[in-house]
Amino acid sequence: MSDLFAPEGGWRVRILDLSGGAADNVLEEIGGFPTLMHANAFARRYVRDSLERCRTPGMSTKEVLEAWFAWGEDATVIDAGEAGWQSGAELGDFADRPAGAEDRDWRALDPRRIDAADDEPAEPDPS
């Protein structure tokens, strides 16, 4: 990979169901990320949110990780190689420190949502 710009059709992020409930553990693939940085940020926030949904008050770091590996969702940037964000690099830190709302907001980076917002008509000016 020689640059950060997307291959034709954009970078793709694969969402994996760690509970084994999906065929080949793949829940979905999301395409259309214009840069690798955008795809990496989405994958990171998606996993962070998944881990936080597995956390309950009073859990130890070990318990949070066990819950995530049993019920969580992982995300990988397809065909990015070592330049793609990998959950294993940050899972321990995620489990140690609960995330704030911005760290979990993968929806703000979802290209499906961004494209839909571009298609919506502008709100009329109330003045």
How far apart are the C-alpha atoms of 14 and 17, rounded to whole Å?
10
- Could you write out the DSSP letters of every residue in 43-68? HHHHHHHHHHHH--TT--HHHHHHHH
* pLDDT value, residue 2: 47
Instruction: Please state at what angle helix 61-71 crosses helix 36-54, rounded to 10 degrees.
Output: 110
pTM of the model: 0.84
* pLDDT value, residue 7: 87
Please give the residue that has the higher pLDDT: either 116 or 66: 66
Calculate what percentage of the chain has a pLDDT beyond 70. 83
Residue 66, pLDDT > 90, answer yes
Please give the residue that has the higher pLDDT: either 27 or 55: 55
Mean pLDDT over 58-63 rounds to 96
* pLDDT value, residue 124: 53
